Amino acid sequence: MAIDKNLNSQTEDRRLKFLNRTATRFSRSDTLALFTVGTFGLHLLTFLILFLLYGSYSQLSKKAPPTLVQLESGKSIKVAQLGSLERTPQVVLRFVSDTMTLMMNWSGNLPATTVEDAVEPKPDSGVDIRSISSSKGKVTHGAWQASYALSSDFRKEFLQLLADITPSGVFKGRTQVVFVPQYFQQPVLIEEGKWKVKIVANLTIFDESNKLGEVIPFNKEIFVRAVEAPSSPIKIDGLAAIVYQVRSSGLEIYAIRDLPQENL
């Protein structure tokens, strides 16, 4: 009996030692596996971060760096590169505002180009235009100059309409028409390189018999598109200077239509 007990005890000891060695072996294997998986995960995360950084640097390298431009006054400004058909909303809005103000203000005086002209304005004799309703009409020199901001196929038609509605008293110093803008909508992109701008304004007509003025609504949709701006010449004057000035923004008006009345 004692021999059997000793044998059983030795067998149990061997079994326990075997289980301990097996457990230790499995424990080391699990730790090694977890370490391997963790290391692979870190490498994968590092690769993903490097890939994202490469993409960001690649996009950044394709962008043109900002350019520093020095003006004639000595002031330096930063400019950004735009596509040939891209214009900022501020440029489009300023172009429409300046064009319509010059075109629709009829003071009976020539546009001032010097300080002397501003102090002592010269009378505007007008520019002869063959109107639609009659064989002869006139538009102001300011309207004629601003008309070069219109597309070539639209300019003639619009000048003829303008000659029809321009009072003859403007050129005799008896009538004055003031363009009074009330609202300019932010440009709405129609398609690439084309915008429309809604304006709400009045034309106030003053003459010798009506000092309070007659108000005529002038609510329009102005359609604008991008064009190639003329290159800056070294020396320019006369008509060429006028054309260059009004087209220097690289925009032109190709249509004007009445603005539909909103519901009350």
> How does pLDDT run across 23-78, given as a tens digit for each residue?
555 455 566 667 777 787 888 888 888 878 877 767 766 666 666 666 665 666 66
Pull the structure tokens for residue 220. Answer: 């329009």
Per-residue confidence (pLDDT) for residue 134, from 0 to 100: 62
Per-residue confidence (pLDDT) for residue 226, from 0 to 100: 92
Has residue 14 got a pLDDT over 70?
no
Calculate mean pLDDT across residues 168-189. 91
CB 123 within 8 A of CB 147: no
Calculate mean pLDDT across residues 205-234. 85
Per-residue confidence (pLDDT) for residue 137, from 0 to 100: 84
Beta strands, E only, the chain? 67-70, 76-79, 127-129, 137-139, 175-184, 188-191, 194-207, 210-226, 251-258
pTM score, two decimals?
0.67
Pull the structure tokens for residue 155. Answer: 């300019």
> How does pLDDT run across 187-217, given as a tens digit for each residue?
999 999 999 999 999 999 998 888 788 899 9
Per-residue confidence (pLDDT) for residue 43, from 0 to 100: 80
> How does pLDDT run across 81-133, given as a tens digit for each residue?
667 788 889 999 999 999 999 999 998 888 776 777 778 888 888 889 876 66
The residue count of the chain comes to 264
Per-residue confidence (pLDDT) for residue 45, from 0 to 100: 85
Per-residue confidence (pLDDT) for residue 3, from 0 to 100: 47
Calculate mean pLDDT across residues 124-147. 83
Per-residue confidence (pLDDT) for residue 39, from 0 to 100: 82
Q: Which residue has the higher pLDDT, 70 or 5?
A: 70
Q: Return the biggest CA–CA distance within the chain.
A: 145
Per-residue confidence (pLDDT) for residue 17, from 0 to 100: 60
